Amino acid sequence: MVLHQLALLAMDRGEPESAIAHADEAVALSAQVQDSHGVIAGRLYLATAMVHAARPAEAHELMCSLIDDIVQTGDVDLAAEALDDLTQAAAGLDFDLQTAHLSGAADRLREQRQLPRPPPEVRHLERSLGPARHRVGGAAWDAGYSAGRRLSHVEALNLARQPLDS
């Protein structure tokens, strides 16, 4: 857990490569002690760090490989984190309509769970979403965002596996 926190601190400091190293180490240690939830959380932090390191394709691929595991844990807070990461990865890949859907789903889930985003993550998310909003346009973005708010977190996670055309 300490390594997970070090990964988060490195991301907050704008050091994504350091965050990747900490997350990799957290995954390895969790695997060593057979902590499956720790492995999933560590891989999620690894994907977050990849997004921050402008490696959205790797982050998206990693996140998609984690979807079944995240759903199986039943940890809805972990699902909210995953939706944020998937939203940012989709934005980085120019999957703009998917970004709108995932953003709506993530916001709804966080509101339901009363799970606010940390301020550094809010800033990073806004920087990621701005270009996608601009490319799609206001009405299309709003429609996609609203549609995403109607999805369950499981539906939204599964949507990430099927990028929508912009």
- In 3D space, the residue among 134, 110, 135, 136 whose CA is nearest the CA of residue 122 turns out to be 110
pLDDT tens-place string over residues 114-157: 999 988 889 889 999 999 999 999 999 999 999 999 999 999 99
Same domain membership, residue 144 and residue 81: yes
Same domain membership, residue 79 and residue 7: no
Same domain membership, residue 128 and residue 92: yes
**Helix, strand, or coil (residue 35):** coil
Q: Which two tokens stand for residue 87?
A: 């939203």
Please give the Cα distance from 2 to 83 (Å, whole number). 23
Tell whether 63 is covered by a domain.
Answer: no
Same domain membership, residue 88 and residue 35: no
Same domain membership, residue 106 and residue 159: yes
Q: Report the number of distinct structural domains present in the chain.
A: 2
Same domain membership, residue 79 and residue 45: no
- The pTM of this model reads 0.90
Tell whether 8 is covered by a domain.
Answer: yes
Tell whether 64 is covered by a domain.
Answer: no
Q: Which two tokens stand for residue 127?
A: 């920087």
Same domain membership, residue 81 and residue 41: no
pLDDT tens-place string over residues 46-93: 999 999 899 999 999 999 999 999 999 999 999 999 999 999 999 999
Which residue range forms the structural domain that includes residue 137? Answer: 75-166
| 36: Cα within 13 Å, side-chain hemisphere | 7
- In 3D space, the residue among 61, 77, 133 whose CA is nearest the CA of residue 101 turns out to be 133
Q: Which two tokens stand for residue 56?
A: 């959205």
| Identity of residue 43 | R
Same domain membership, residue 108 and residue 37: no
Residue indicated by tokens 């995240």 = 70
Under 8 Å between Cβ of 161 and 116: no
